[in-house]
Amino acid sequence: MGEKEARRDELTKESEEGAFWNDQEKAKSVIAEMKSLNGVLKPFGSLLQQSDDLATLIEMADEEGEDSLNDEIRQAVKQATADFEAFELRSMLSGPNDHCNAFVTIHAGAGGTEACDWAEMLLRMYLMWAESHRFKTNIQDREEGGAAGIQTATIHIQGEYVYGYLRGETGVHRLVRNSPYDSAGRRQTSFASVDVLPEIDESIVIEIREVDLKRDVFRCGGPGGQHQNKTESGVRFTHLPTGIAAESRTERSQHKNSANAMALLKSKLIRREEEKREADYAKKYDEKGEISFGNQIRSYVLQPYQLVTDLRTGLKVGNPRALLDGGLDVFIDSYLRWKLSGALPR
């Protein structure tokens, strides 16, 4: 931690100089780096303090023969262990955009109504995971699936290191279950894709030329209400050189939808560069891989047995209901450790 502390002290000294804010872009970059360093150093300092407090408590119990302190010691050990595990997980998030908020987009794939229902189950899973971590969520885009579920949806999740935690969720998710939409209750396989994008903060400058941008507006149907049905409040931006598109339709204001769509487009462009570096862009990005057999990252089996398998890390968990209720952390931890081991470029 010595190098990180020295770098933080260096940046702190720089930020206290009178001319610090004369260069706005550089200042934002310095602040962002300080925030990232403090995200590791402050929890580390807290762990050291907990260790000292626990050692003192144990010493007191030994000297005074106080069995009454045993419960307090056990509780302190339990808390310190949980805090250390959280710190260990956080220390694995060292990517350039891991500290960012995230956009999570879910698309129903092969399977018709079943797939749309499965896509909505995944939407609920990510919302519940975010709620369990007290992250702020907002559904920015939602297209109903017809008979049930959703065709597509985008969630904006705000919180520290959300993108770093959820980055490994990108890919195709496969569900096997007895169909609630089949009168005979036959077993069905459904697919949905998940794409996780970092929200670009002000310290990261993304320049998009006007000549490279196409802007479309459209009417928004569905649950938005009569106002959205009658006005062209939906906005779609297309980046012409890459063909990448982003849209927003859930706000009543065209101006807000325009801002949301632009933020999402910038995030997609950043994600595209990340995918290129990981040599995986052609297969995964923007649904260029088929959302069906052979492309999945995780399999969720509800019948005839219950098992969730991550096909990258090999992790298997026999309680899919807990996962679908937002219990993602065990898979997030497994993916980050797998990535750290060198199985995936950082």
Could you tell me how far CA 248 lies from the centroid of its own chain? 19
More confidently predicted of 99 and 39: 99
Confidence band, pLDDT 50/70/90 cuts, at residue 281: very low
- Enumerate domains of the chain plus CATH numbers: 2-91 (1.20.58.410), 96-346 (3.30.70.1660)
Bridge-based pairing state of the strands 213-218 and 234-239:
antiparallel
Residues 83-104 have a mean pLDDT of 81
Residue 170 phi, psi (nearest 5): -65, 125
Q: Which tens digit of pLDDT belongs to each residue from 220-274?
A: 765 544 444 556 788 999 999 889 998 888 788 888 888 888 888 888 887 777 6
Amino acid found at 248: S
Q: E strands, 179-321, where?
A: 187-198, 213-218, 234-239, 244-248, 296-301, 307-310, 316-317
| pTM: predicted TM-score of the whole model, two decimal places | 0.66
Report whether pLDDT(342) > 80. Answer: no
Confidence band, pLDDT 50/70/90 cuts, at residue 286: very low
